[in-house]
Amino acid sequence: ERGIGRLIREGERSFSFEFMPPKDPAGEEQLWQAIRELEPYRPTFVSVTYGAGGSTRDTTARITGRIARETSLVPMAHLTCVGHTRAELEGILDSYAAAGIGNVLALRGDPQDGPRADWLPTPGGFTYACELVELAAGRFSVGVAAFSEGHPAAESLESDVRVLLDKQRAGAEFAITDMVFRSSDYLGLVERAGRAGVEIPILPGIMPILNLGQVRRMAELSGRDVPPDVVARVAAHEGDPAAVRAEGIAMAAELCEALLDGGAPGLHFYTLNRSRATREIFAALRISA
């Protein structure tokens, strides 16, 4: 049984790595190099995101299926409701099952203009991730998204965790957060979620800052700003890219330690299809392959 919900519940600490579908053959080579370099760390699972547009959408099933067939890793494929009818989503879930994929991260997805833009459901499709959780639960071990500072469009932090509770009731077995910048944000989420009745494990998402340009991109991706004190620590090394990177890795390692000390059931790394930063953080945490 390689259902991730159970692996997290029954294992010690969960470590996982997230990849993106590559856009071209060079990207695919880079992705496989990262997978091979991270495989020796024996993560609990690895996941492959579901792209918002065009050809990359089939790539998720292809890459995730190949991970299932050709590596020792437990893979999970993401899936979003964007632009799909219910029948199409059923078809994609069928293709995941046929490729030997037993784990799905069920998401709503974002409008093309980003997480803060108005969301318009596809006719015949789903309005909320919760409905996709219901569709996939039973056949797959289903994970869902959680938000360390609340989803940017959530009415309140309390309604944000009620959504997480709905996902749990619909059959979600675990949750993964967006990028966490401060351990207090994650611990606050866990506390709120617990008070609301959420019992599924919540894994914090980790993405180290490796250069200053990335800070803006992180904000665009997550729909919220990187906290000024976090930016200031790396910005202090502006003009010295190696020092910026080293500070970013050191900060991520400190964050990981604080999260685990605070009781996080594991760590989920956004790798951007490269292994080096994750390996550096593991070295700082004294975790070896």
Q: Decide: is 115 part of the binding site for ligand FAD (CB under 6 A).
A: yes
Residues that bind ligand FAD (rule: CB under 6 A) add up to a total of: 24
Q: Decide: is 279 part of the binding site for ligand FAD (CB under 6 A).
A: no
User: Among the candidate windows 64-72, 87-95, 126-134, 230-238, which touches ligand FAD by CB under 6 A?
Assistant: 126-134
Candidates 245, 241, 225; CA nearest to 182 is 225
Question: Which residue's CB is nearer to ligand FAD, number 108 or number 279?
Answer: 108
Q: Which pair of structure tokens corresponds to residue 144? A: 């869902």
User: Among the candidate windows 1-9, 96-104, 122-130, 242-250, which touches ligand FAD by CB under 6 A?
Assistant: 122-130
Q: Classify each residue of 191-205 as buried b or exposed e, where b means 16 or more C-beta atoms within 10 Å of its C-beta.
A: ebbeebebebbbbbb
Q: Spell out where the chain has E strands.
A: 14-19, 45-48, 75-80, 103-107, 141-146, 174-179, 202-206, 266-270
Tell me whether residue 191 is one of the annotated catalytic residues.
no
Q: Decide: is 107 part of the binding site for ligand FAD (CB under 6 A).
A: yes
Candidates 178, 181, 257; CA nearest to 215 is 181
Q: Decide: is 284 part of the binding site for ligand FAD (CB under 6 A).
A: no
> Binding to ligand FAD (CB under 6 A): which residues in 87-106?
105
Integer distance in angstroms from the first to the last C-alpha of the chain? 24
Give the whole-angstrom CA distance, residue 139 versus residue 163: 22
Catalytic residue, candidates 18, 131, 134, 280: 18
Residue 84 · residue 129 · CB < 8 Å: no
Question: Which residue's CB is nearer to ligand FAD, number 6 or number 169?
Answer: 169
Name the one residue in this structure whose structure tokens are 């904000």: 219
> Binding to ligand FAD (CB under 6 A): which residues in 31-50?
49-50
> Binding to ligand FAD (CB under 6 A): which residues in 137-156?
145, 151, 153-154
Which of 108, 224, 245, 279: binder of ligand FAD (CB under 6 A)? 108
CB atoms within 10 A of CB 122: 15
SS3 147: coil
Q: How far is the CB of 92 from ligand FAD (least distance, A)?
A: 13
Write out the catalytic residue numbers: 18
Q: Point out which residues bind ligand FAD (CB under 6 A).
A: 49-50, 52, 78, 80, 105, 107-110, 115, 128-130, 145, 151, 153-154, 160, 163, 176-178, 205
